[in-house]
Homo-oligomer: A and B are copies of this chain.
Amino acid sequence: MIERLSFNQITSKHATLEDCAEACVRHGVGWIAPWRDRVQEAGLQHSARRLRDSGLRVSSLCRGGFFPASTEAERLRRIDDNRRAIDEAEELEASSVVLVCGPAPDRDIDGARKMVAEGIAALVPHARGRGIRLGIEPLHPMFAADRSVIVTLAEALDLACQFDAATVGIVVDVFHVWWDPRLYFELRRATGRILGFHVSDWAVPLPGNVTGRSMMGDGVIELRRIRAAVDETGYVGPIEVEIMNEKIWSQPLDVTFEQTIQSYRDHVEN
C-alpha cells in the first residue's frame, strides 16, 4: 500500500515535471509535490492540466518563504512572490504551499524571526481567499544561517498558532526534526496543525549538507516511530519522499522510483 506516498520532485532534481509525472503514473504513485521552477519551465496551465490528466494529486507546492531581507522593498517583493506561489498552488490544486522561512540578512536572528511572522501575516488573507494552506517547515538548525531562522517544531508551531488552523500549519520533515529532545511532545501539541509530512533519512557520515539526505532505512532516524506519532495527531494526508542527494540525482529516474517505493514500504509503512 503506497496510497499515501507522494514523490517530491526534488528527489529527481534533473527530471522535468513531465518526466516526473510520467514516472509517478508508471510506478503507481498517486501523489506528486512539484517545485515552482519546474512548473514555470513547463508553464503553469500546461503543468496543471498535465497533472490533472495523469490523475495525479498535488500534495504541496515547493516552495514559498524567504521573508527576511535588509530592505522593506525587498521584503514586499518577496511577499508578492509568495502571493504568486499561492496562486500557482490554487491552479495546480495543491492544498498547501511549503514555507522555507529564510535566513537573517545580517546577524540579527530575532529581527529576522519577526520579519517571518510579519511576512506570514501579510500572506494569510490571500491564502485564505484562495483556499490554500501555508505550511511552515522548521529546518534543521544547521540551516539557520543560510535557509531558515525557524529551526524547531516548537518555534514553527508557536508561529502557526498566531493564525487560524484552517490557513496556517506546519510541515514535519524527519530530516529536520529527528534530533529534537522535544520531538514527541511537540508532535502531540501539533494536533490539527500538521499540513505535510516528509520522509528521508540521516546517514552517517552525511553525504552533504543541503544534499545530505538518504533513502529511508539508510540512516539513524526512527521513521516508524515518528510516523506513528504523526498519525496519532490525526494527520491522514500524503507522505512526501523528499531527498536531496547527488548520487540519487545522478541515477536513472526509474531506479530512483524503485528505491523510493521499496524503502518507503520497508521503513515508513505500518
Answer whether residue A129 sits at the interface, using C-beta atoms and an 8 A cutoff: no
Question: Does the CB pair A179–B107 fall under 8 Å?
Answer: no
Residues of B contacting A146 with CB < 8 Å? Answer: 204-205
A258 partner residues in chain B, CB cutoff 8 A: none
Bound state CA distance, A145 and B113, in angstroms?
28
Question: Which residue of the partner chain B has the closest CB to A106?
Answer: B220
| Contact yes or no, A141 B179, CB < 8 A | yes
Q: How far apart are A244's CB and chain B's nearest CB, in angstroms?
A: 15
* Complex Cα gap A145–B140 (Å): 13
In the assembly, what is the distance between CA of A116 and CA of B117, in Å? 37
In contact, B107 and A221 (Cβ under 8 angstroms): yes
Q: Does A152 contact B (CB under 8 A)?
A: yes
What CA separation (Å) do A222 and B179 show in the bound complex?
24
Across-interface contacts of A221 in B (CB, < 8 A): 107
In whole angstroms, what is the CA distance A69 to B74 when docked? 51
Q: Which chain B residue shows the least CB distance to A205?
A: B146
Say yes or no: A220 contacts B152, CB within 8 Å: no
Interface flag for A104 (CB, 8 Å): yes
CA distance A19 to B143 in the complex (A): 37
The distance from the CB of A212 to the nearest CB of chain B, in whole angstroms, is 9
Question: Does chain B have a CB within 8 A of A70?
Answer: no
Asked if residues B142 and A220 are in contact (CB atoms below 8 Å), the reply is no
* Contact status A181-B151, CB under 8 Å: yes
Of the candidates B108, B142, B152, B209, the one whose C-beta lies within 8 Å of that of A181 is B152
CB distance from A228 to the nearest CB of B (A): 14
Q: Name the residue on B nearest A151 (C-beta).
A: B179
B residues within 8 A CB of A220? 104, 107, 109, 145
Interface readout for A31-62 with B: 1 if CB under 8 Å, 0 if not?
00000000000000000000000000000000
Interface residue A144 (Cβ < 8 Å from any Cβ of B): yes
Are the C-beta atoms of B202 and A181 separated by less than 8 Å?
Answer: no
Question: Given the complex, which residues of B lie within 8 Å of A206, measured CB to CB?
Answer: 142, 145, 209
Taking Cβ atoms with an 8 Å cutoff, the residues of A that contact B are 104, 107-109, 113, 140-142, 144-146, 151-152, 154-155, 178-182, 202, 204-206, 209, 219-222
A–B Cβ pairs within 8 angstroms, 5 of them: A107-B222, A145-B206, A145-B219, A151-B180, A151-B181
Please name the 9 residue pairs, one residue from A and one from B, whose CB atoms are nearest each other, closest first: A144-B179, A142-B142, A141-B179, A155-B181, A145-B220, A145-B204, A141-B141, A146-B204, A107-B222
